[in-house]
Every structure is written in C-alpha cells, then in structure tokens.
Amino acid sequence: MTLTLALLQQAVADTTGAYGHFPGIGGRGAVWIAAEVHLMFAAFVLGVPMFAVITELIGIVAKDSKYDKLSHEFTRLLVFAYSATALWGAMLLFALTTLYPKFWAHMTRIFSVSMWIYVSLFFVESFTLYLYYYGWERWQFGRGKWFHWGLGVLLNVWGTTVMLIANGWLTYMMSPPTGATAEGLPKGVTMWNAIANATWIPINIHRLIANAVFGGAIVAAYAAYRFLAAKTPEERAHYDWMGYVGNFIAISTFIVLPFAGYWLGREIYQYNQQMGITMMGGFMSWLWIVQAVLIGVLFLCANYYLWLGMARIPGAERFVPYTKWMLLLLIVCWIAWSTPHTMIATRDELVSMGGAHHPFLNVLGVMSAKNTAVNLMILTTFLSFLIYRRANKESVVPWARTGTLIQGAMFVIAAAVVLFYGVYGYFVEAIVRIGFSVYQVGAVLMCILGVSIIDAFIGRGARSRGEIRWGQMPERSQYALFVLAVTFTWLMGLMGFARSGIRQHWHVWEVMRDTSPDAFTPALGYAANMISLCVLIFLSLVAFIFWLGGLAERASHAVAPEPHGVAIPPGIAVARPGAAPVTGD
C-alpha cells in the first residue's frame, strides 16, 4: 500500500508543471490544430517547388514558354504560402513550449543542435525562394535561365532537408533508439542515432511522395477555380491545361504512395509488433475503413475527370464504351476494400456474429480481397490515363498493332497475377499470405513500366486525329478537381492521426508517458471533427492566398496590359464557341 501511494505521488509529481491549459479545446486540441495546419502548408510548399522546377526544365528543353509560365504561376502561390507555413510553425512552437513544457524540454535536450540547423535552413530556403521568384524576368534567357533553374533545384534541396530534420523529431517519438529515457539519451547514443531511427527513412520517402501528390492536387484545384472564373476562352484553355497537369502529377505520384505506405507499416511492425497491431488491428482498425472510403473517392474522381476530358479529344469516342465497365470494376473493388474484417469486437458482438468474424463479410474483408481490389483499381486508373493519352493519336510505326497487343497482354497478365494470388491467399497461412502482396504489387508495377515504355515508342511521330480542345470542358469536371483536393487534404489529416495515435498514451513510445488529462487517444468521431476543422482552416487560408495571387496578377496586368487577355501558350488549342479551334504558335 505504501509503495502504491509512493508511485501515485510520483505520478502526481511527474504531472505537476508538465502541462499548460488552453481554454475551450484544451492543450491537445490547440497543438493538434497548429501542427496539422502547419503540416498541410509545409506539404504544399515542399510539393509545389518539386514540379515548378520540373515544368521549368521541360520549358527550357522543349523551348516551350507555356511550361515556363506554368512554373512561374506555381511559384507565385509559394511566396504567400511560405509566410503561412512559418506563421503556423511559430504557433506550433509556442503551443508546445507553453502547453507541453516538460515534453518539449525533453525534445530540446536531445535535438537542440538540429533545431538550430533547422531554423538556419528555413532562412536560406526563404531567401532562395525570393531570388527564384523575383529573378524570373532577370534570368530568363541563355545561361541565366539555367542559373535560375539551379535556384529552383536548390530550393528543393533546402526544403527537403528541412523536412528530413523535422521527420527525425517526430519519428523519434514513435521509434526512439534503445536505451532512451525520459532524462535523455544514454551514453554512446548520439542525436544522429535519435534522428536516424527505425521509421525515419520510410517516413521520409512516404512524405516526399505525398507532398508531390498534395502539391499537384492543390494546384489543380487552383486551376479549377481560375477556369470557372475565366472570362476569355484563352484563359479557360490555359487553366484547363493547368488543371490537367496538376491532376496528372497528383494521381501518377499517388499510385506509388501505397507501396511507400506498405514499407512504413512493415518498419513499424519490425520495430514494435504491438504498435503495428494497434495500428492495423487494434483500436485503430476502423480507421482503415474510413481511409478506404476516401481512397475510393479519389480513384473515382480521378477517373471521372479523365473520362470527361476525353470529350474534348477528337478520336476519344472509340474508347467511351469501355468506361462504364471500368466504372463498374472500380465500384466493385471499392466495396471490397471498404469491407470491415479484423475489428475489435466486444463479447456481445462476438456472440451476435457467431464468431470472431462476420459469416459473410469475412470473405470480402480479408487482406487477400483488399490487396486484389486496390491493385485492380490502380490498373484501371492507369488504363484510363493510357486511353486518354492515346485518344487523339494515330500511330505510324509498322508494329503499332503488335505493340498494342503486347500492351493488352501485359494488362491481362498483371490482372491475372493479382487475381491468382488474391484467391490463393485464402488457402495459406496469414504469414505466407502477407508475402503475396509483393507479387501483386510487382506485377502491377511491371505492367505500368512495360506498357509506358512501349507507349512512348508507339507514339513516336504519331499522326494527330485533331488538337485537344482545351477549355471545352464541362464545369462538373472542375468540381471533381475540388473533391480531389479536399479529399487529399482530409486524407493527410487522417493519416497524421493514425501515425500519431498509435503511440497511444506515450509522448515518446515507451520512454515518456503522457500524464495529462488528454492522454487517452480519442475515438475516430472526435478525430474526424478535428481533422475537418483543420481542413477547413487550411482551405480557407489557401482560398485567401489564391485570391491574393489573383490580385498580384491583376496589379501586374495593370502595369503592362495584354491586348487580348492572356496570351495563347504555344501548343494549346483554344475552343471558341461556334468557331474552329485556334492554336497558339
């Protein structure tokens, strides 16, 4: 009894002065909002520069000014978004120091040097951005252009390094090195060991790809808004094309994201089985059903946008009849993926189900069915991209028919491999079944790679069946881009909750306990409220930034007005009502 009292007194002592109070939403709520909105902006300012430099490079190599204009437009959004990122970062820092002083003292004890480097890099990054944006006109030609492009590359290097450092801190909280205690690191374990912990590299890879996805989705939403607000056919054409590029980048990078997520999950299991089980089969298991709903929406909207886009491509009519079958396949796969399986159940629920699993849904809900479903959805989406790409092209190479047949065979083989291992998975042990996902993923990746290579050669010197009528896109297609952007943002919030929530009542897993009144990990309903609040704050601020971007553009037009609205970028066909499309030279 004396010992228990002593332990309780110790717990009280641990908690005293360890936590601050925030009115209304509590300390955890305040940190949650500050961290999540900061992270959303950070993802945006890291994702957008990635393809700003890629599109600028395409513009330089292809000598096509429309790419340069696109890159410049991306960068204009960045200038405003950087301030918002820094602002929310400062709010997060103040929230942590005032609301979680003891935990933050622990983090600063271990990571202080990296925090100084982090701040210095933020300065360097900001100044590189200013040089990159404001030097656009000055370094527009010759060697100056390459120097300018180099600045863009440097901007990405600084941004990525900043992310790697911050990732070191947050992954330390999930997978601290052996021997770490609430007092700090043991002798012989350095700050570098704490940064380069078990989940650091997979998180880095996952976030890098996710940032590109997120940046693409937000840029596509920006383009969609400008498309809807456009007053001239030229403007509509430009923003239609910009929306397509943003969406293409978002979806093509998104397709590889599940593989990075799979690797991260594996590393979490390797580090600590209990944490892995909490994530996939413990109290968080229902989270993956919500995730499946979101990803299903993403796949459906991305395909819907492409199918609508085919209406503006001469020659696409021949592919339209297939879309209804693709839609059916996507919906069936979505249903399989969203089926609950190994969920925590109470004794009463077990009794009413007649066992640990639902008698019918059990068949659909297992990983074999889910892996099969998601791989088929990826293949279907890739097929949509392929037919969109080939819609207005007529190949002139003599082996075009053979090449197309080989491509078709690749799709069939990949789908057969996915289905075979999906069915075979029902007849083997769980530990063997887990390994099958590697074969399924491998088959899909090989198909994507092989088909893309063949397609690049088939398309060489292809005859055009007619120019794409950019701008001639139904308005509902642009709303699909909004749904994509909102869904990606919500998904980011949900996955952030999953990553952070699996630590449960630990600030640092099995090193430093959370002894605050908010130490419990909330249910998904509460988490969803917080995620939605963060998403709405972020989207409102992004809308404000877009509006500012429009103001800045109008101001520059007022100084040097263009006689006929926006110049037609070379290579873009513009659809004018009642007239034949005209093309920018």
Partner 1 sequence: MWKTNLKVLAIALLVVGFYTTVAHIIPQLQSEVPEALALGSGVTPEALVAAGEKIYNGAGGCTACHGLGTRAPNLITDYKGQGAVGARCGTRKPGMACKAYLYESLTQPQAYIVQGFDPIMPDMRKQLSDDQIWAAVAFLESQGGEVDVTGEDIAKSAPAKGAAPAPTGPAMTATLDPVALYSEKGCIGCHQMDGKGGAVGPSWDHIGSRRSAASIRKKIIDPKSDTTKGFEKFAGMMPATFGQMLTAAQLEALVTFLANKK
Provide φ and ψ at 574, rounded to 5°.
-110, 130
Q: Which is nearer to partner 1, 179 or 408 (CB)?
A: 179
Binding partner 1 (rule: CB under 8 A), the pick from 21, 401, 505, 557 is 505
Q: How far is the CB of 540 from partner 1 (least distance, A)?
A: 9
Question: Where does this chain touch partner 1 (CB under 8 A) — which range of 133-141, 210-218, 457-465, 515-523?
Answer: 515-523
Name the 3-class secondary structure at 502: coil
Site for partner 1 in 215-234 (CB under 8 A): 225, 228-229
Q: Does 525 bind partner 1 (CB under 8 A)?
A: yes
Q: Hey, CA dihedral for 10, 11, 16, 18, is it positive or negative?
A: positive
Between strands 573-574 and 512-513, the pairing is unpaired
Q: Which is nearer to partner 1, 282 or 450 (CB)?
A: 282
- The Cα 423–Cα 127 span in angstroms is 56
Q: Which is nearer to partner 1, 336 or 410 (CB)?
A: 336
- The Cα 120–Cα 416 span in angstroms is 53
Binding partner 1 (rule: CB under 8 A), the pick from 535, 541, 566, 573 is 535
The length of the chain is 585
Q: Which is nearer to partner 1, 394 or 510 (CB)?
A: 510
Q: Give the list of residues 6+ apart from residue 574 with CB closer than 8 angstroms, or none.
A: 233, 234, 236, 237, 469, 470, 471, 568, 581, 582, 583, 584
- Dihedral, CA of residue 221, residue 224, residue 228 and residue 231, to nearest 10: 120
Q: How far is the CB of 202 from partner 1 (least distance, A)?
A: 14
- Which helix (H) or strand (E) segment holds residue 507: the answer is strand 506-508
Q: Give the list of residues 6+ apart from residue 84 with CB closer than 8 angstroms, or none.
A: 41, 541, 545
CA neighbours closer than 13 Å in the CB half-sphere of residue 288? 24
- The Cα 248–Cα 243 span in angstroms is 8
Site for partner 1 in 165-204 (CB under 8 A): 178
Q: Does 352 bind partner 1 (CB under 8 A)?
A: no
Residue for token pair 């992004």: 542
Binding partner 1 (rule: CB under 8 A), the pick from 350, 416, 449, 551 is 350
Binding partner 1 (rule: CB under 8 A), the pick from 165, 256, 329, 343 is 343
Residue for token pair 């919030």: 493
Q: Which is nearer to partner 1, 315 or 522 (CB)?
A: 522
Binding partner 1 (rule: CB under 8 A), the pick from 154, 194, 514, 575 is 514
Provide φ and ψ at 464, rounded to 5°.
-90, 135
Q: How far is the CB of 269 from partner 1 (least distance, A)?
A: 8
How distant is the alpha carbon of residue 534 from its chain centre?
Answer: 16
- The Cα 121–Cα 149 span in angstroms is 20
Q: Which is nearer to partner 1, 250 or 458 (CB)?
A: 250
Question: Where does this chain touch partner 1 (CB under 8 A) — which range of 13-21, 127-135, 497-505, 577-585?
Answer: 497-505
CA neighbours closer than 13 Å in the CB half-sphere of residue 556? 10
How distant is the alpha carbon of residue 205 from its chain centre?
Answer: 12
Binding partner 1 (rule: CB under 8 A), the pick from 189, 327, 345, 446 is 345
Q: Does 556 bind partner 1 (CB under 8 A)?
A: no
Binding partner 1 (rule: CB under 8 A), the pick from 120, 529, 551, 557 is 529
Residue for token pair 């950070």: 42
Q: Does 55 bind partner 1 (CB under 8 A)?
A: no
Q: Which is nearer to partner 1, 328 or 430 (CB)?
A: 430
Q: Does 274 bind partner 1 (CB under 8 A)?
A: yes
Binding partner 1 (rule: CB under 8 A), the pick from 60, 182, 528, 548 is 528
Q: How far is the CB of 279 from partner 1 (least distance, A)?
A: 10
Q: How far is the CB of 7 from partner 1 (least distance, A)?
A: 7
Between strands 463-464 and 573-574, the pairing is unpaired
> What is the total count of residues that contact partner 1 (CB under 8 A)?
68
Q: Does 282 bind partner 1 (CB under 8 A)?
A: yes
Q: Does 11 bind partner 1 (CB under 8 A)?
A: yes
Nearest CA among 187, 8, 54, 185 for reference residue 107: 185
Q: Does 565 bind partner 1 (CB under 8 A)?
A: no
Question: Where does this chain touch partner 1 (CB under 8 A) — which range of 166-174, 244-252, 452-460, 475-483?
Answer: 475-483
Q: Does 551 bind partner 1 (CB under 8 A)?
A: no
Q: Residue 576 gets which letter from DSSP? A: -
Q: Does 240 bind partner 1 (CB under 8 A)?
A: no
Q: How far is the CB of 259 from partner 1 (least distance, A)?
A: 18
Q: Which is nearer to partner 1, 172 or 490 (CB)?
A: 490
Q: Does 2 bind partner 1 (CB under 8 A)?
A: yes
Binding partner 1 (rule: CB under 8 A), the pick from 251, 290, 541, 566 is 290
- The Cα 71–Cα 219 span in angstroms is 11
The string of DSSP letters for 187-206 reads TT--HHHHHS-TTHHHHHHH
Binding partner 1 (rule: CB under 8 A), the pick from 501, 565, 571, 584 is 501
Q: Does 420 bind partner 1 (CB under 8 A)?
A: no
Q: Does 16 bind partner 1 (CB under 8 A)?
A: no
Q: Residue 471 gets which letter from DSSP? A: T
Question: What are the helix (H) ranges across 287-319?
Answer: 287-309
Spatial contact of 180 and 19, defined as CB atoms under 8 Å apart: no
- Which amino acid, residue 60? I
- The Cα 109–Cα 107 span in angstroms is 5
Question: Where does this chain touch partner 1 (CB under 8 A) — which range of 83-91, 167-175, 534-542, 566-574?
Answer: 534-542
Q: Does 532 bind partner 1 (CB under 8 A)?
A: yes
Burial of 275 (0-12, 13-18, 19+ CB in 10 A): buried
Question: Where does this chain touch partner 1 (CB under 8 A) — which range of 51-59, 85-93, 283-291, 406-414?
Answer: 283-291
Binding site for partner 1 (CB under 8 A): 1-8, 11, 178, 225, 228-229, 270, 272-274, 277-278, 281-283, 286, 289-290, 293-294, 297, 342-347, 350, 355-357, 430-432, 435, 479, 482-483, 486-487, 490, 501, 504-505, 510, 514, 519-525, 527-529, 531-532, 535-536, 539
